[in-house]
Amino acid sequence: MQTIIVPTDFSDAADNALKVAKTIALKTKATIHLANFYSLPMSDYSYPEISMPSEILKQVADAAKIEIEKLTLALQSEGFMVVSTVAMGFPTDEIIDLANKVKPDLIVMGTTGATGIINKVIGSNAAHVMQKTDYPIMLVPQDCTFDGIHNIVYLAELREDDTPILSKLFDFADALEAQHVRLLNVNTGFFFQAIDEQLMLKLDNTFGLEKIKLETVNGADTKDGIDHYLEKHLVDLVVMSTHKKTLLERIFVRSNTNKMALYSKVPVLVYHKS
């Protein structure tokens, strides 16, 4: 792993995400790329050409640069390699553009959950970045207590095309020296399908018996199942994958990945399937 992008607005949620990114960077020797994107509201949305005075914009930009420099110096004093980006723009769009330029191994973002209007907006921004980027993204809830990544759960109805993602996950887990990786299948009742035996044999042959630890949990839906599992097991990271969706699917279907990203009490890592 070479580069981890960590967007920050200097909030508690962003600070918690940075704490997780530091743990990963410490294990993988990756460079932390801090990113802050600021914008000012229009004084009147009916007349978008009327914006805030330039001197106020300069003050906002200067304040952001000062805060980024403080974070950079603090991280460098701890021995981390750090680069930074500070620019004007809408954060979600700019984060996606930055990722396309930098081509990071991972994006780590803070979220504040999904209670209250402001939190819903922040959560949807994180989900927007997750849907629009092709790079792995880890969403870190503000209130989660983090003490390293030791126990990992991969949540998926295993299919043939999970093999490339599992390969990335096991490499990631090895780099972090994680103790356990569990493959969790949620039984939601009528539509439940057990893992195909031939697929399990292929996974065993590909990764080794010691890697494949399959567990099944019952739930009314996927989130209900994982919630029950998290209540009974110590889990530091939930890993999911997402297929590219059409525009209509993104508008009308809230995927299990989005639900976990917005409500989880532990960090959620999302890999993208093409």
Q: How confident is the model at residue 52 (pLDDT cuts 50, 70, 90)?
A: low
Tokens of 189: 């009742």
- pLDDT higher at 214 or 36: 36
3-7: strand order across its sheet: 82-88, 31-38, 3-7, 106-111, 137-141, 268-273, 237-243, 151-155, 180-187, 214-218
Q: What is the pTM of this model?
A: 0.85
- pLDDT higher at 132 or 25: 25
**Buried residues in 154-183 as b, exposed as e (16+ CB within 10 A):** bbbebeeebeebbeebbebbeebebeebbb
Residues 176-203 pLDDT 10s: 998 888 888 877 776 566 666 777 777 7
* pLDDT, position 54: 73
Tokens of 166: 């599992």
Q: Which has the closest alpha carbon to 93: 165, 11, 14, 7? A: 7
Task: Using DSSP, state whether 240 is helix, strand or coil.
Answer: strand
| Pairwise CA distance, residues 220 & 2, whole Å | 40
Residues 96-111 pLDDT 10s: 999 999 999 999 998 8
Confidence check: pLDDT of 39 > 80:
no
Q: CA Rg, the chain, in Å?
A: 20
- Please state which of the ranges 122-126, 150-154, 240-244, 261-265 shows the lowest mean pLDDT: 122-126
Q: How many CA atoms lie within 13 A of 16 on its CB side?
A: 19
Residues 72-97 pLDDT 10s: 999 999 999 999 999 988 888 999 99
* pLDDT, position 73: 97
* pLDDT, position 67: 94
* pLDDT, position 252: 46
Instruction: State the residue for tokens 């003490």.
Output: 147
Contact between 166 and 172 under an 8 Å Cβ cutoff? The reply is: no
